[in-house]
């Protein structure tokens, strides 16, 4: 087995802890790159994506805190339409800081509970 990167180890540790306390709730998964940020609400029991939002369709400035907050608002709206109110937050291997935190705060303000 190949040695895992620090990012991959952190991602697996976060995901394992989530499984222990999820209790069947959908997962709000966040992925960020240098240019964009993506959010999905995933129902792991059914194995499908319930709602998704990203900075892809928006302006070219997807790599800032304001854009991440906008994605948080969008994912909260999409979750409401799908009938989801409570989720567990999966930050992946990313630190809860900056764009990831802005997305989470905006999703909470939009009505998602986690």
Residue 38: domain span? 24-109
Decide if 19 is inside a domain. Answer: no
Decide if 8 is inside a domain. Answer: no
pTM assigned to the model: 0.92
Decide if 16 is inside a domain. Answer: no
Decide if 56 is inside a domain. Answer: yes
Number of domains in the chain: 1
Find the CATH number of the domain harbouring 90: 3.30.420.100
pLDDT tens digit string along 49-105?
999 999 997 766 778 999 999 999 999 999 999 999 999 999 999 999 999 999 999
Decide if 114 is inside a domain. Answer: no
Q: Write the secondary structure of the chain as one string of H (helix), E (strand) and C (coil).
A: CCCCCHHHHHHHHHHHHHHHHHCCCCEEEEEECCCCEEEEEEECCCCEEEEEEECCCCCCCCCCHHHHHHHHHHHHHHHHHHCCCECEEECCCCCCCCHHHHHHHHHHHCCCEC
Decide if 11 is inside a domain. Answer: no
């Amino acid at each position: 087995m190949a040695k895992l990167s620090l990012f991959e180890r952190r991602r697996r540790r976060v995901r394992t802890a989530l499984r222990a306390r999820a209790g069947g709730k959908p997962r709000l998964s966040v992925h960020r790159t240098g240019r964009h940020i993506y959010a999905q609400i995933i129902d792991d029991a059914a194995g499908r994506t319930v709602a998704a939002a990203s900075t892809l369709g928006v302006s070219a400035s997807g790599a800032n805190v304001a854009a991440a907050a906008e994605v948080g608002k969008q994912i909260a709206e999409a979750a409401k339409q799908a009938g989801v109110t409570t989720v567990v937050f999966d930050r992946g291997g990313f630190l809860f800081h900056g764009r990831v935190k802005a997305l989470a705060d905006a999703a909470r303000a939009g009505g998602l509970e986690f």
